[in-house]
Chain A
Amino acid sequence: MERLLDIKNLKTSFFTHVGEVKAVRGVSFHLDKGEALGIVGESGSGKSITMMSVMRLLADNGKIVDGEIWFDGRDLASLSENEMQKIRGNEIGMIFQDPMTSLNPVLTVGDQLTEPLLKHKKMPKEEAYKRAVEMLRLVGIPSPEKRIKQYPHEFSGGMRQRVMIAMALINEPKLLIADEPTTALDVTIQAQILELMKDLKSKINTSIILITHDLGVVADVCNRINVMYGGLIVETGKTSDIFYNPKHPYTWGLLRSVPNPKTLVKERLKPIDGQPPDLLKPPAGCPFAPRCEYAMRVCMTHMPPLFEVGENHKAACWLNHPDAPKVEAPVGRRHE
């Protein structure tokens, strides 16, 4: 398979009045053409900032401090803003996590949807409007001809999210970055959007990076999964490996936290106790150690490397060291 994106040792920080927030602390991964990669993990672990770094859309106080971002033969980390503008909304489409702040409240939905077509494709206005209406229909907005003339605040939360999706897809990008694209959608429309993404993947070989908290969504769409914690990738592998043979205690906690949709008795949910690390003073050892019930002495002082635990399956946990005690995962068996 052909490589589309190759991220090497990415480090991104925010410089605030209280110090340097190390949001992404050395992240490496790749994506092939036509592949769908899921990114899951703790809130605040750097999922969005990793992808905002790729898009070079960091806040003013944010900076890529190290690393390379190879996209289709170019290192995005070193491109000029001018060159980046030709890539954004054209070769890379992004669905942002917060639809309301990324839609312009004073422009109609139609004006915003047609912008990428007018700007990058130099399409005549009338044709662009037709395409925009068609796109709104594809993402399941009823009466698109009428809706296109309205402003974002006249749309429901989920409808705004679908406008964002339409906007990201309208130029048929090579890479679609979708940050929590379906959180505000009901499951039937979610299913429809996921089908639309899978379609793009198979028809025009679009590669997808899907950031989501919904393990059901990654299970359905993604070929591979990165699990992030404390600004790092702590586990990466094929979807089936992450679900059925997870090798990191954080991944175990994640899989254990979701309610079983089939149970009829009300069981208390099992969250992971404790707090994520403070990225102002990231710990020297494993970032998960203070919350980990399996933590050993080495975990507090030494950062675990990404151990090779299977084919294309890696986990950054000392339990995978040959000398570590053998622990059985409390989750992740295949259902009979």
Chain B
Amino acid sequence: MMENKKALISIKNLKMYFPIKKGLFGRQVSYVKAVDDVSFEIMKGETLGLVGESGCGKTTTGRTIIKLYEPTSGEIIYDGVDIAKFTPNQMLPYRKKMQMIFQDPYASLNPRMTVADIIGEAIDIHKLMTGKERMERIHYLLNVVGLNSEHANRYPHEFSGGQRQRIGIARALAVQPEFIICDEPISALDVSIQAQVVNMLEDLQRDFGLTYLFIAHDLSMVKHISNRVGVMYLGKMVELAESNELYTKPLHPYTQALLSAIPIPDPDEAMSKKRIVLEGEIPSPIDPPPGCRFKGRCKYAKPICSEQDPVFKDVGGGHMVACHLY
């Protein structure tokens, strides 16, 4: 379906390590390897879903792609240009093209700014509109995300969790970006508004040709919205496939466990459902074990899994997996 499309973003061997300083004199003793050699592409106009265990590096991947962090190494090729080593000045035109809807709506909204100021800020930075036109755009955006114009002069603390998340979405849309990283954009919303926002994201994509990286824990929603889905585990991409393919034929044992744990909104099924319970200690990205990072919790683990890092490879039809079983 996507084969004939061009990649908008190509990530090659991306690494993002955070140093941990210890002791009085702050000598670096180790690193959190939050993203550790990850490669994938995002096609123009597609939605790539990104799922995985909490702390596996999804947000860091997103933030590194839009260069909120300086990558430790690797390439970030946006529309043919490697921006990995760009200076803030060189990044400026890309700041308008790439936007992010943040995971934490509370921390990401300035409490001393009104909603109109928050949404207007990006319009001002990029000098897109002024005066009446700017105000009309703000009201339009509020309506798009299901708030109303009267909300424009209120402050973030006067809103409920879900309402604040929608302010963040309106802010991201304000500069008419090409590519949006949606980091848990809907998890704070009630299901009816989730449906509204997802429909809205789909409409915007159709109308403006937007490309999304959609990070979420709600696997049913990720499946609904994504063309392809990538699964991360402890800083690595372990599986990536077209979404129906991934949900019907998960190959990686971690993906299998993940899919089996989807909570089913049906009490009878919830009672009878069998989950694959993951045993074993969750390894830490501070000292990732050698070999496959999932081996300590994998019931199929073989000797080779402790020795060699499995290669992330295509096992047919664009279904990528990093596991010694395949």
B-binding residues in A (CB < 8 A): 14, 16, 18, 21, 40-44, 48, 59, 97-101, 140-143, 146, 150, 154-159, 161-162, 180, 183-191, 213-217, 219-220, 239-240, 243-244, 253-255, 257-261, 264, 266, 268-272, 275, 278, 334-335
Contacts and interface: CB of A to CB of B under 8 A. Distances in A.
Contacts of A239: 267
B91 interface: no
A243 B268 CA distance: 10
B311 interface: no
Interface of B: 18, 20, 32, 51-56, 59, 103-104, 106-107, 146, 148, 150, 154, 157-163, 184, 187-196, 198-199, 202, 217-221, 223-224, 244, 247-248, 257-258, 261-270, 275, 277-278, 281-284, 286-287
Given A101-B107, A264-B248, A156 B55 contact: yes
Given A156-B54, A269-B199, A255 B265 contact: yes
B262 A188 contact: no
Contacts of B194: 213, 257, 269, 271
Given A185-B217, A264-B248, A97 B161 contact: yes
Contacts of A271: 192-196, 199
Residue with the greatest number of chain A CB neighbours at <10 A, chosen from B52, B104, B224, B263: B263
26 contacts: A40-B190, A43-B161, A43-B162, A43-B190, A44-B162, A98-B104, A98-B161, A143-B286, A143-B287, A146-B286, A156-B54, A158-B55, A161-B54, A183-B188, A184-B217, A186-B52, A188-B258, A188-B261, A188-B278, A216-B262, A219-B270, A243-B267, A257-B192, A257-B194, A259-B220, A268-B202
B195 A335 contact: no
Given A157-B104, A186-B217, A142 B191 contact: no
A187 B217 contact: yes
A24 B272 CA distance: 37
Nearest to B51: A186
Contact of A187 (B160, B190, B261, B268): B261
A183 B193 contact: no
A297 B116 CA distance: 37
A22 B247 CA distance: 44
Contacts of B161: 43, 48, 97-98, 180
Contacts of A261: 219-220, 223, 247, 262, 264
Given A101-B107, A258-B195, 11 more contacts: A143-B287, A156-B59, A157-B184, A183-B217, A187-B258, A187-B263, A191-B277, A215-B191, A217-B263, A219-B269, A269-B199
Contacts of A97: 161, 188
A255 B265 CA distance: 8
A155 B40 CA distance: 25
Contacts of A189: 53-54
A242 to B, nearest CB: 9
Contacts of A41: 190
B263 A240 contact: no
Contacts of B264: 216, 219, 261
B199 A268 contact: yes
Contacts of A213: 187-191, 194
B190 A219 contact: no
Contacts of A42: 190, 192-193
Given A213-B194, A259-B220, A146 B106 contact: no
A185 B103 CA distance: 12
A187 B219 contact: yes
A259 B223 contact: yes
A110 B13 CA distance: 35
Nearest to A215: B265
Contacts of A161: 54
B115 to A, nearest CB: 13
Contact of A48 (B157, B160, B195, B198): B160
A179 to B, nearest CB: 9
A220 B270 contact: yes
A234 B25 CA distance: 59
A266 B243 CA distance: 11
Contacts of A269: 194-195, 198-199, 224
Nearest to A188: B261
A157 B219 contact: no
Nearest to A18: B154
B53 A16 contact: no
Contacts of A254: 190-192
A185 B52 CA distance: 9
Contact of B284 (A143, A243, A244): A143
A100 B105 CA distance: 10
Contacts of A44: 159-160, 162-163
B267 A180 contact: no
A158 B60 CA distance: 13
A335 B268 contact: yes
A184 B220 contact: no
A157 B103 contact: yes
